Amino acid sequence: MTPRLIDHRERFACNDSGCGFIYWNNPIPVVGMVVETEQGIVLAHNKLMPQGIFSIITGFLEANESPESAAQRETKEELGLDAVEIHFLGVLPFARANQIVIAYHIKASGKIQLNEELDAYKIVQKTELRGYSKNNKFEVQEWLDHLNVLA
């Protein structure tokens, strides 16, 4: 595989003229959920992240799964919570991880039970999220912007 100019971009392509393989490096679709319970917004710490970094819940889509179903499934798998309401927030690029995030606000019920990916969580109030940067915590900011439009 060597880099070649294809469609005005440098892409890796097979060296063998009969191969035809091109590595497009397309973004990976993921879901991101602002999960809200009666107590507040759930932020979680993924074991692979540095200590002190809490974020919204995220997960990959499975084959033949709708983004909305993935959001509900990931909320159940990662937090043990049932989605009671789900609202689409938007589709947002996350270039740093080469992902496209399909974001939702989920109102959930149940008792939080973390799966093996997560080792801690905290509950915060909406007012505590107002300072989140649109570039670093975009799903949260998108949701807050949406709430402001509805208010």
| pLDDT of 150 | 40
Calpha distance 43→96 (Å, rounded): 20
Judged by average pLDDT, the poorest of 21-25, 38-42, 57-61, 136-140 is 136-140
CB atoms within 10 A of CB 120: 13
Calpha distance 111→33 (Å, rounded): 17
User: Which of the four pLDDT bands, split at 50, 70 and 90, describes residue 70?
Assistant: very high
Phi/psi of residue 23, nearest 5 degrees: -90, 105
Specify the CATH number for 26-150; select among 3.30.2020.10, 3.30.2350.10, 3.90.79.10, 3.20.20.70.
3.90.79.10
Instruction: Please state the domain extents for the chain.
Output: 26-150
Instruction: Look at 80 and 14; give whichever has higher pLDDT.
Output: 80
Instruction: Specify the DSSP class assigned to residue 128.
Output: G
| pLDDT tens, position by position, 110-143 | 999 999 999 999 998 877 776 655 444 555 665 5
